[in-house]
Structure 1
Amino acid sequence: MIINKAHDFGFVHIPKCAGSTIRQQLRDKDDAQGKFYHTMTIPELGKVNANHLPLAVLAAHFPQDFEALRAVTSYAIARAPMERFISSMAQYLRRDDQNPAEMSAAEIRKRTLAVIAELSASGAAPEMRHTIFLRQAGYVFLQGEKIIDHVYPMTRMEALFDRIETQHGFDLIRDTVWNPTVTYRFPLISRPLKSLKETAQKLLPVKTYASVRDLGFRLFTTRGVAALNDTLLNMSEVTAFVQDYYGEDKKLYQEALRATDPDKQDGRQEMPA
């Protein structure tokens, strides 16, 4: 999350929705001085990823920060639910030191069905350890009220860059792949490359880091994980789960698309509601 009162700007990072593109570039502009850039322990919830606190958690445990967010013009990025679920599964599997590109379809299916069962059993409030699977709507709405002013679809990031630069005065790298899902061409070097990437991000200026990172992506990775995509897209259980569990997210994403449709704006950027 980013809040900058002087620039009338707020940004809520929905997990797996390209939010790192904005958050990493503006982290030194954050009034909270990186308060929400770390893992933290909340007594009632345990250890949580503070980069991705949904609004209900923010309001309940950090009311002053929640009110600061409400006081500025706020933004979020939304993503098509199926695409986001596949990306979330890729990260989930890698977190357990498994490479989805090397897993069999049967292994992917088994792990995915286990995740679906656990999320389905959790009802409306999944545990915070499942941050990457939390519903997008929980980062935009709170108890039926729309808190975040403007939601842009991940497919129209250029419009968001334009809005942030012209209205809020920030200079941004036009980068839509800050932290993409990739397959390493040489799996044995994936761990040292990740460590190198994390170190470079801490030490290098943002623009320099972005250039070095892009070179690394081109040399050592390919975009996406074909085996995971193919398996999940052909699982009827996944299709049914995404349609049901992320129904509100589908509406959110479709509304963001409509609000930023350039063919319906007569050459003007309509501001998403």
Structure 2
Amino acid sequence: MNLSISVFTNISQLKQIESCHILRLFGYYLILLWIIGTILNGSLLYTLIRNNILRQLSTNILIGGLLLGDFIGAFFEIPFPALSLIYCRWIFTYIGCVFEAIITYFVGCSNMYMLCLISIDRYSIMTRSFQEPSGIIQRTYTSIGCVYILSLFWTIMPLLGWSSYDYEIRNRRRWFTTKLNQSSVRRRLLIERRVLHTISFVIGGFLIAWTPYAILVVIRAFFDANHISSIMDTIPALFAKTSFIWNPLILIVRNGNFRQYIPFITSKHRSQSSK
């Protein structure tokens, strides 16, 4: 059974069936995603690297690992389908198809594992009275490394003969209580709740982006998909690529720590304050 990863399968057949103008619109849409995804993810990664204070929290480090995957996906993977749609045919040969599939599969796996780590991290902090255990930062970096190694393992397997890349076809509980009348504790609780809501939005964005494509894959695998038009068959895969921009957008809107250090936002605030 072939492992279908590449967005484009029958681009030549799409050209025959659908107007090339529609495909070019999809291509320009992906170009826009490439620009936005690269700038937003790159800016947030740069902000995280430049400001050591942001790396004092394990959650921010894990978010950085998530942003790295999105940056790789946006910068290296989107140009392949975007240019092919503009030319109304796949222009990168089979090697290009395999390369795009490797990037897509690697980023998809690493993002899922990273979201699991973030969920575990939030659960650990919320159940430990908001205190991060000692050594958590080092363990966080180690966990991110393990995530990328595991993702790379699953990505390499099809190259070694385990499936293949091809054109896409058709313990005891310890209870405790904390007094919340202290202003510092109440403030920390509000902060952690906001972080929890932000992570929920990040996970929700991932699910929203990939659910239509997952449904399409299930239909292909277990039902007759001949009645689905070529364009409708392509749209879920194109929509899934919006996952590269959801995370930075959510973080810019919801995370005040990141927003405080982002270069183009801080420079804007400085110019306004100087007036």
Q: Tell me the TM-score normalised to structure 2 length.
A: 0.25
| Larger Rg, first or second structure (1 or 2) | 2
Question: Higher strand share goes to which structure?
Answer: 1
Question: Higher helix share goes to which structure?
Answer: 2
